[in-house]
């Protein structure tokens, strides 16, 4: 008979390890379940991963972090979306907001009406109907309002934060709730010769730590899930060519913007993530098209403020671990796979892996149906994100390098080709189970990259163009008016959550 498991060991003390620890210790309340986290501070963490998506707000709330204290402790700023610059020759820039556009009328999505107007040669600007885009353009910030009848209610936000400070905060939080913390290097992982399950890990001092369930948060290496269990990795570099990154911090020269900037270059792109005390910069590139020294030059000549640390180099293989749950090992974070950070999805994937672990938390029998379902759900989620990221490269019309020309001509997954074809036909946006990005995000990309439907949805004929234009004017006015009531992002931080130094 299956009995409850009693010991969980998390290996790794980066963002993934401490997010897992904080969640598991909450889950363990009232149960006979011990949580131990082993990390080697000598090895250290990846030290990047500072832009998030809105699900992080919910995560912090669930584990019991006070929002304003969290912001102060991690030098965080607010994030309303991502500004894409130079990704296409159609526009200098477009904004991917964490909000919807306009309002659906008669259950017909808003964009179908704009599409209808375009077919009548009446041009409109999609971004005018996104409250968070307007807020971002004006460098303002406000928290969503409780009153659903104002544009101030209908949007989400996320954060930029210092990854090291966030891990420290989670560590304090998790250990104060009862997580047992060991700072030591794991030298060996020991498996049962009968079942192949992991039985214990051996530390440098020779001591062995046993557990029923092991959570592998050891970063790219995947010491348990891969080096020990040989789970396998699915490589997606045929579609996602960027495989190297350089990150450097610099002094802040302006007040922090409430959004991430993603600036395209000839062979990759650059991020700017503003925190309260510094700017986080990074440069992601395809090493088959750009040498490391050229990439370094490109990055350093495109940052604002003096660099304040030594640049750090990263190499990665875009893709996923074939199973995030294998036997009694659950991989969370970089050990489970990695997709480049263009849409800041890694931390949200940590969160969603934790949610699945808690939902399907095993007994001693480790039910194979539970394991298969978690792997199925995770794989679907990652494939949708993969497709969304490939879209950024496939749809660009930049012709200035071999890299961009290759991206435009490459074959893409059938799932993505189908979605693009549906939109091109008459503006339909299809979403599948476990999609991280909603219709508004797909619409942003299609519109930003200049993809326009060949026809419009005839259901939009239900509203006359004149009436439509009047409604649009009214909508724009109320969005502008509501945005003008918000304070500047900087003033909001100073008033509510300024870090101590
Ligand atoms: P790590 O931080 O690498 O932690 C691994 C842990 O395992 C460490 O504590 C280490 O000490 C421990 N460990 C390893 N070996 C041993 C051993 N033998 N014994 C004991 N302990 C061991 N994500 C986002 O959401 N937004 C972003 O903007 C973003 N930007 C990124 C930019 C780059 C260039 C990269 C590479 C990643 C980015 N990510 C981003 C991803 C994000 O950084 C990670 O998802 C996040 O930091 C989690 O990392 P981790 O905890 O899995 O691994």
pTM: 0.97
Instruction: Return the best residue to mutate from 82, 198, 334, 336 for the ligand 1 pocket (most ligand atoms within 8 A of CB).
Output: 334
Please tell me the distance between residue 415's alpha carbon and the centre of ligand 1 in angstroms.
29
Confidence of residue 90 (pLDDT cuts 50, 70, 90): confident
Distance CA 112, CA 104 (A): 9
Measure the CA dihedral 356/183/312/15, to 10°: 20
Domain residue ranges in the chain: 7-50+162-235+318-366, 98-159+384-489, 244-315
Confidence of residue 21 (pLDDT cuts 50, 70, 90): very high
Give residue 294's pLDDT. 97
Give residue 154's pLDDT. 78
- What is the side-by-side order of every strand in the sheet holding 329-331? 180-183, 34-39, 7-11, 213-216, 329-331, 325-326
Nearest residue to 159 (alpha-carbon basis) of 434, 354, 347: 347
Please check whether residue 331 is in contact with residue 352, taking contact to mean a CB–CB distance below 8 angstroms: no
Give residue 105's pLDDT. 84
Q: From the alpha carbon of 185, which atom of ligand 1 is closest?
A: 19
Confidence of residue 206 (pLDDT cuts 50, 70, 90): very high
- Mention every residue, 6+ apart, whose C-beta is less than 8 A from residue 173: 22, 63, 64, 65
Distance CA 209, CA 212 (A): 11
Structure tokens at 105: 């009328």
Distance CA 40, CA 264 (A): 36
Structure tokens at 485: 């009531």
2 has a pLDDT exceeding 90: no
User: Which residue, judged by its Cα, is nearest atom 45 of ligand 1?
Assistant: 346
Task: Report how far apart the first and last C-alpha atoms of the chain are (Å, whole number).
Answer: 56
Please check whether residue 15 is in contact with residue 22, taking contact to mean a CB–CB distance below 8 angstroms: no
Please tell me the distance between residue 217's alpha carbon and the centre of ligand 1 in angstroms.
8
Instruction: Return the best residue to mutate from 50, 159, 333, 336 for the ligand 1 pocket (most ligand atoms within 8 A of CB).
Output: 333
Give residue 112's pLDDT. 97
Confidence of residue 150 (pLDDT cuts 50, 70, 90): confident
Please tell me the distance between residue 331's alpha carbon and the centre of ligand 1 in angstroms.
12
153 has a pLDDT exceeding 80: no
Give residue 191's pLDDT. 98
Fold of 7-50+162-235+318-366: FAD/NAD(P)-binding domain (3.50.50)
Residue 314, sorted as left (phi over 0), alpha (psi -120 to 50) or beta, turns out to be: beta
In this structure, are strands 7-11 and 34-39 parallel, antiparallel, or unpaired?
Answer: parallel
- Mention every residue, 6+ apart, whose C-beta is less than 8 A from residue 269: 87, 242, 262, 263, 283, 284, 342
- Mention every residue, 6+ apart, whose C-beta is less than 8 A from residue 457: 108, 112, 115, 116, 426, 427, 428
Which DSSP letter does residue 219 get?
Answer: G
- Mention every residue, 6+ apart, whose C-beta is less than 8 A from residue 375: 323, 324, 325
User: Which residue, judged by its Cα, is nearest atom 39 of ligand 1?
Assistant: 49
Confidence of residue 241 (pLDDT cuts 50, 70, 90): very high
Q: From the alpha carbon of 245, which atom of ligand 1 is closest?
A: 34
Structure tokens at 273: 């993530």
What number is the average pLDDT over the span 216-241?
A: 98
User: Which residue, judged by its Cα, is nearest atom 37 of ligand 1?
Assistant: 49
Nearest residue to 316 (alpha-carbon basis) of 243, 266, 386: 243
Please check whether residue 112 is in contact with residue 455, taking contact to mean a CB–CB distance below 8 angstroms: no
Strand, coil or helix: 362: coil
Q: Which residues are catalytic?
A: 79
Q: 272 φ, ψ to 5°?
A: -130, 120
Give residue 146's pLDDT. 77
pLDDT digits (tens, 9 = 90+) for 421-435: 999 999 999 999 889
Give residue 307's pLDDT. 96
Distance CA 180, CA 90 (A): 54
Distance CA 76, CA 161 (A): 4
Please tell me the distance between residue 136's alpha carbon and the centre of ligand 1 in angstroms.
29
Strand, coil or helix: 146: coil
User: Which residue, judged by its Cα, is nearest atom 53 of ligand 1?
Assistant: 219
Residues with CB under 6 A from ligand 1: 11-17, 38-40, 43-46, 48-52, 163, 185-186, 217-219, 221, 223, 245, 247, 282, 314, 316, 333-335, 341, 344, 346-347
Percent of the chain clearing pLDDT 90 (strictly above): 94
Structure tokens at 211: 């557990």
Please tell me the distance between residue 164's alpha carbon and the centre of ligand 1 in angstroms.
10
Burial class (CB in 10 A: 0-12, 13-18, 19+), 360: middle
Distance CA 345, CA 341 (A): 6
Distance CA 352, CA 290 (A): 34
Which DSSP letter does residue 317 get?
Answer: -
Instruction: Return the best residue to mutate from 17, 48, 227 for the ligand 1 pocket (most ligand atoms within 8 A of CB).
Output: 48
Q: Which residues, in sequence order, are bridge partners of residue 274?
A: 279
287 has a pLDDT exceeding 80: yes
Give residue 145's pLDDT. 83
pLDDT digits (tens, 9 = 90+) for 382-418: 999 999 999 999 999 999 999 999 999 999 999 999 9
Mean pLDDT, all residues of the chain = 96
Distance CA 422, CA 407 (A): 21
- Mention every residue, 6+ apart, whose C-beta is less than 8 A from residue 88: 395, 396, 397, 398, 448, 449, 450
Residue 173, sorted as left (phi over 0), alpha (psi -120 to 50) or beta, turns out to be: alpha
Confidence of residue 155 (pLDDT cuts 50, 70, 90): confident
Instruction: Return the best residue to mutate from 19, 43, 82, 216 for the ligand 1 pocket (most ligand atoms within 8 A of CB).
Output: 43
In this structure, are strands 329-331 and 325-326 parallel, antiparallel, or unpaired?
Answer: antiparallel
Q: From the alpha carbon of 350, which atom of ligand 1 is closest?
A: 45
147 has a pLDDT exceeding 80: no
Structure tokens at 383: 């494939």
Please check whether residue 135 is in contact with residue 78, taking contact to mean a CB–CB distance below 8 angstroms: no
User: Which residue, judged by its Cα, is nearest atom 43 of ligand 1?
Assistant: 49
């Amino acid at each position: 008979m299956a009995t409850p498991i009693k010991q969980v060991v998390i290996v790794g003390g980066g963002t993934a390890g401490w997010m897992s620890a904080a969640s598991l210790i909450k889950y363990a309340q009232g149960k006979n379940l011990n949580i131990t986290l082993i990390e080697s501070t000598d090895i250290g963490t990846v030290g990047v991963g500072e832009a998030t998506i809105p699900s992080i707000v919910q995560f912090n709330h669930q584990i019991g972090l006070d929002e304003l204290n969290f912001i102060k402790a991690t030098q965080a700023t607010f994030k309303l979306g991502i500004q894409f610059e130079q990704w296409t020759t159609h526009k200098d820039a477009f904004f991917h907001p964490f909000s919807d556009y306009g309002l659906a009328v008669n259950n017909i999505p808003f964009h179908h009406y704009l599409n209808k107007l375009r077919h009548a040669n009446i041009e409109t600007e999609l971004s005018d109907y996104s409250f968070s885009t307007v807020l971002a353009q004006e460098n303002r910030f406000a928290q969503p309002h409780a009153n659903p009848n104002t544009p101030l209610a209908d949007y989400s936000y996320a954060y930029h934060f210092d990854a090291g400070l966030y891990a420290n905060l989670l560590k304090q939080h998790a250990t104060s709730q009862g997580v047992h913390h060991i700072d030591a290097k794991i030298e060996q992982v020991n498996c049962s010769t009968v079942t192949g399950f992991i039985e214990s890990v051996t530390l440098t001092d020779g001591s062995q730590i046993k557990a029923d369930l092991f959570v592998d948060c050891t970063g790219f290496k995947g010491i348990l899930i891969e080096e020990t269990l040989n789970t396998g990795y699915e490589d997606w570099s045929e579609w996602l060519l960027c495989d190297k990154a350089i990150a450097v911090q610099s002094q802040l020269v302006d007040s922090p913007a409430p959004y991430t900037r993603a600036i395209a270059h000839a062979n990759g792109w650059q991020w700017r993530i503003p925190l309260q005390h510094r700017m986080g910069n990074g440069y992601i590139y395809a090493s088959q098209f750009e040498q490391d020294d050229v990439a370094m030059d490109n990055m350093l000549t495109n940052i604002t403020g003096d660099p304040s640390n030594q640049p750090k180099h990263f190499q990665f293989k875009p893709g996923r671990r074939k199973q995030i749950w294998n036997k009694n090992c659950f991989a969370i974070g970089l050990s489970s796979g990695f997709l480049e950070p263009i849409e800041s999805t890694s931390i949200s994937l940590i969160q969603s892996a934790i949610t699945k672990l808690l939902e399907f938390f095993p007994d001693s029998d480790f039910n194979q149906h539970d394991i298969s379902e978690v792997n199925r759900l995770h794989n679907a989620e990652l494939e949708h994100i993969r497709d969304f990221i490939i879209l950024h490269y496939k749809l660009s019309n930049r012709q200035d390098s071999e890299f961009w020309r290759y991206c435009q001509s490459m074959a893409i997954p059938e799932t993505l080709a189908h979605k693009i074809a549906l939109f091109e036909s008459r503006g339909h946006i299809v979403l599948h189970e476990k999609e991280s990005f909603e219709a508004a995000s797909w619409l942003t990309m299609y519109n930003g990259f200049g993809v326009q439907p060949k026809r419009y949805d005839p259901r939009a004929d239900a509203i006359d163009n004149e009436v439509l234009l009047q409604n649009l004017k009214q909508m724009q006015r109320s969005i502008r008016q509501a945005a003008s009531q918000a304070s500047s992002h900087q003033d909001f931080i100073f008033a509510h959550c300024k870090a101590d130094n």
